[in-house]
Structure 1
Amino acid sequence: MLTGDYTLSLYIAIFFELFWLDLIPVGTFIPPHLTAATFSALSLATFLGYETPSQMVFIFFASMPMAWFGAKMEGVIRDRERVNYNRLLNWARNPESDAIPTQIVARSAGRTFVVAWGLFYVSTLVLYFTFQFVAGLYPTLFTTIKISWPHLWIAASIGGLMALRLKQANIVLTTGITIIAVFVISGCF
């Protein structure tokens, strides 16, 4: 959105919104690490100059692990912050200075910001250089797939169907996917 390419930004946002629907039950807090995949896809698309769905499908698959990576990073940071939590409990039992809670929160927020953005930046750079390398080896790879945005959105909306958490709905979904796959493989479509 910051680059002014609103159409591509909205296409990417719609894809990930539909895809993550399964993982976010209605009415709950949306964890920030899920947006890391979206922001990574936006960054890669901007810096690589990719705009077509056939190019973006590779970026989507490469960016999805960023959400998992963000969740793991957040868990590690929380484990490390237990020391500060214990320090805060000790302060609550015996308040020595009013500045201690402020220092704890400021250090924690600063550390989280630096670590999260640093790891995100490094991870996105790794993906960027990987795409550059692969595009150099196989220049037509990212343009050979005949796919459109509605195809990607339909594939991503499977997350919404899975969010129903009903066994019968998942059985119908699996059966439908299997039947379509059989028809596609046999050449009927």
Structure 2
Amino acid sequence: MVGFFWGAATGEYTTSLYIAIFFELFWLDLIPAGTYIPPQLTAATFSALALTTWFGLDQPSRIMFVLFASMPLAWIGTKVEGWLREREQGSYNALLNWARNPDSKHLPGTLILRSMARGLVMSWASFLVAVLILKQGFDLVFSAYPSMFPPLGVTWAHLWVAASVGGLMALRLKRAYAILAAGVILFALYRFLPTL
């Protein structure tokens, strides 16, 4: 949905949806269940969309670097959410005490509003700092080395196949990981060292 709404806001439907599909495929196996905090897919997707639009990128071979640089934001979002959950322990204890002895009928609402405000401020602040760091990094690289990202012939199909590795990683088999790593190494050697 993030890709669709970003496309509607910017008019770049194709690129926006392609980026959203990439991240959906990449984290296909990480389904939230129980107390597990999944990667913040929205943070990574939104970051990639914002940076792609800011720099006016439209070629998959150049967008690829923004996609890879935005991936850590998914894990940063998870860490922030985990930290926020730990901070809510005091609110949980206050709620338990209130349930035993309800002094004020406003306490649950106050705790909920405080939790929502803290989550909103901390999540957005950490996201904005991370995106600004990425933006400054790409500004530096694009201005210092404008030809550093030549057209590599990478298409969206290549990126989606690479992102589909997330489904393979869901197998959780060391042998599958070894075969995948060997295949990637052989492909890289074949592609980038044709003289061997």
TM-score > 0.5 by shorter chain = yes
The yes-or-no answer on 1:13 pairing with 2:7 is no
Paired residues of 1:25 and 1:163 also in contact (CA < 8 A): no
Residue type of the partner of 2:166?
Answer: G
Give the Cα–Cα distance (whole angstroms) in 1 for the partners of residues 32 and 123 of structure 2.
25
Aligned to 1:165: 172
Q: Which runs of 4+ in 1 moved over 2 A?
A: 22-26, 28-32, 142-146, 164-186
Aligned to 1:145: 152
Q: CA deviation at 1:29?
A: 8.8
Q: CA deviation at 1:117?
A: 0.9
Aligned to 1:40: 47
- 164-173 or 83-92: which moved more? 164-173
Aligned to 2:108: 101
TM-score if structure 2 supplies the norm length? 0.85
Give the Cα–Cα distance (whole angstroms) in 2 for the partners of residues 24 and 98 of structure 1.
37
Q: Which structure carries more relative contact order (alpha carbon 8 Å, separation 6+)? A: 1
The yes-or-no answer on 1:87 pairing with 2:88 is no
Aligned to 1:70: 77
Paired residues of 2:52 and 2:66 also in contact (CA < 8 A): yes
Distance 1:185 1:136, change over 3 A: closer
TM-score if structure 1 supplies the norm length? 0.88
Distance 1:77 1:18, change over 3 A: same
Could you give the per-residue CA deviations for residues 93-118 of structure 1, whole angstroms, max 9, x where no partner exists?
Answer: 11001110000001100110111012
Q: CA deviation at 1:168?
A: 4.9
The percent identity for this pair of structures is 53
Paired residues of 1:22 and 1:160 also in contact (CA < 8 A): yes
Q: CA deviation at 1:170?
A: 3.8
How many residue pairs get matched? 188
Which runs of no fewer than 5 residues in structure 2 stay unpaired?
1-6
Paired residues of 1:22 and 1:163 also in contact (CA < 8 A): yes
